[in-house]
Amino acid sequence: MTPSFTPAGQQMVCDTPIYAYGMLANDLTGKRTVPVRGRIHARKLSDFAGYIRHSGEEFVFVPNGELELRFENGHPYRLGAGDGLYFGSAVGTCT
């Protein structure tokens, strides 16, 4: 596999009122993971229409600040700078 370099600020961005995802290594096909850089716009639970779920797995890493990630089964995680959380995406989440 040839390395894929994504310069800062040059990712394809999917921007919504809830979050913005910058797609990383978007030029590679057949990846087993989909790396993205996310920025959360939502500030409260009521900003979400409902829990988000899909097939697969996710890894969240918080480079700075704080993030509270809630699962539809009622289990919240409060992540701080440097924390990471890996989870199955079939259980709904919201931040």
Query: Is residue 21 located within the same domain as residue 3?
Result: yes
Whether 90 and 58 share a structural domain: yes
19 and 54 housed in the same domain: no
User: Which domain range does residue 72 map to?
Assistant: 42-95
**Token code pair at residue 45:** 């639970």
Q: Are residues 22 and 58 in the same domain?
A: no
The answer to whether residue 89 scores a pLDDT higher than 90 is: no
Distance CA 84, CA 26 (A): 23
Instruction: Tell me what pLDDT residue 47 has.
Output: 81
Task: Tell me: do 31 and 55 sit in the same domain.
Answer: no
Mean pLDDT of 40-58: 83
Residue 46 sits in the same domain as residue 63: yes
- Same domain (yes/no): 46, 89: yes
Q: Are strands 84-88 and 36-40 parallel, antiparallel or unpaired?
A: unpaired
Token pair 């779920």 in the structure block, residue: 53
Average pLDDT over residues 21-39: 90
Sign of CA dihedral 79, 50, 9, 86: positive
Higher pLDDT, 48 or 4: 4
